[in-house]
Amino acid sequence: MLDLDNTLVDRDAAFRDAVVMFLAEHHLPATDVTWVMTVDAGGYTARHDVAVAMNDRFRGRVQATAVQALLDRGGADHVVLTDGARDALTRAPAGGWTCVIVTNGRTVQQEAKILRTGLDRLVQGWVISEQVGFKKPDPRIFRAAADAVGVPLTGAWIIGDSAHADIAGADALGLRSIWVSNGRTWDQESYRPTHITEDFATAIDRLIGAAE
């Protein structure tokens, strides 16, 4: 089970690119990109709250509809899949693994990322929180993912960058997990991932190795 944002794809980089274009288009200070990214908090701040903060900051200079359009796209039109991640997804089925994306977010936005990057041709399925009505780390979204690809939850691994949404979700279900650190240090004491890797491609190699 694979997380999408900041695991399979660099969601923050894509959103940052979108924000840079937004600021330039509306003749706003380029330095405000740091403020927007801080408010956004890697996509974990509720979109409504981000919209309220941006509308307040840019009041009189940008229409609320423009802010909403930016947040609705969420950087989906800038997201890319690295060659390393693409190759890893090719290796996984050859190693006997079924890959399903499990992501929080809006269906239209997340499916746009999946289709734009060609992930729809590289994984065996996906579930999106808005679509199924449950958000990670709720165990029900992981069960829905297993059902979506017709495999048992027992024996599944969860790969993701979020300690709370991905690794705590795996821990609650008694599943093994790989935390994609993206250069960070693990700081949770009550639970730990089975493995820690720097990036997604390395996580897949570790997963394949664990099955051999």
Contact 204, 89 (CB under 8 A): yes
Q: Give the pLDDT of residue 111.
A: 96
CATH of the domain at 90: 3.40.50.1000
**Domain shared by 119 and 207, yes or no:** yes
Query: What are the C-alpha distances in Å from 207 to residues 17, 88, 112, 151?
Result: 32, 11, 27, 17
Contact 182, 198 (CB under 8 A): yes
Q: In whole angstroms, what is the distance from residue 101 CA to residue 124 CA?
A: 8
Number of domains, the chain: 2
**Domain shared by 88 and 65, yes or no:** no
Tokens of 113: 């990322």
Contact 160, 176 (CB under 8 A): no
Low-confidence ranges of the chain (pLDDT < 50): none
Calculated CA dihedral for residues 137, 140, 141, 147, nearest 10 degrees = 150
Beta-bridged to residue 179, according to DSSP, are: 160, 196
How would DSSP label each residue in 71-106? HHHTTTTT----HHHHHHHHHHHHTT---EEEE-S-
CA angle 179, 183, 189 (to 5 degrees): 50
Contact 111, 128 (CB under 8 A): yes
Question: In the 8-state DSSP scheme, what is residue 60?
Answer: T
Decide if 5 is inside a domain: no
Q: Give the pLDDT of residue 212.
A: 57
Q: In whole angstroms, what is the distance from residue 150 CA to residue 211 CA?
A: 20
**Domain shared by 102 and 34, yes or no:** no
Q: Which residues form the domain of 48?
A: 11-73
Q: Give the pLDDT of residue 211.
A: 63
